[in-house]
Amino acid sequence: MNDPARDFNEVIRAIRRDDPRYARGAYYFLRQALDYSLKELHARGQLDQSNHLSGKQLLEGIRLFAIDQYGPMARSVLMYWGIKSCCDFGNIVFQLVSSRVLGKTENDKPEDFENGYDFKTAFDQPFQPNQRPYLRRPRLN
pLDDT for 137: 56
Q: How many residues does the chain have?
A: 141
pTM listed for this prediction: 0.84
- Please name which of 122, 29, 123, 116 lies closest in space to residue 76, comparing C-alpha atoms: 123
The yes-or-no verdict on residue 1 having pLDDT over 50 is no
Each residue's pLDDT tens digit, 51-68: 788 899 999 999 999 999
- Residue-wise burial string across 51-84, b where 16 or more C-beta atoms lie within 10 A, e elsewhere: eebebbbbbbbbbbbbbeeeeeebbebbeebebe
Are residues 117 and 86 in contact, defined by beta-carbon separation less than 8 angstroms? yes
Each residue's pLDDT tens digit, 96-133: 999 999 989 899 999 999 989 999 999 999 888 865 55
pLDDT for 40: 86
pLDDT for 129: 82
Confidence of residue 139 (pLDDT cuts 50, 70, 90): low
pLDDT for 44: 76
Are residues 90 and 110 in contact, defined by beta-carbon separation less than 8 angstroms? yes
Q: Average pLDDT of the chain? A: 88
pLDDT for 115: 87
pLDDT for 33: 97
